[in-house]
Structure 1
Amino acid sequence: MQMSTAEKQAFVNALDQAKRTVHPNLVICTRRYQEVLGPDGNSPQ
């Protein structure tokens, strides 16, 4: 897929905004589940 420089920048900006915007139903993971959950694999650390 070929994208112009402006399209690439718009795409990166959209990803950055999605990462920083709070939404009640959607989240973007920034850590692996092993880092988030405790040793039992179910409870948060």
Structure 2
Amino acid sequence: MLTLDQLNKSMGKGTVKVAAEGVSHTWEPKAEYVPPCYTTRIEDVLKVR
């Protein structure tokens, strides 16, 4: 972090960023495929035959 701060100080703010900084997620999972209690109810787990 010290190196990152020094580079940004000498070369300008925002020149070097942390890996996920400034990344925007424009996608969302489709709610129609996720049951309301998908992590707490075993009945909602899909069965594959």
Range into which the TM-score falls when normalised by the shorter chain: under 0.3
Greater share of residues in helix: 1
State TM-score, norm by structure 2. 0.24
State TM-score, norm by structure 1. 0.24
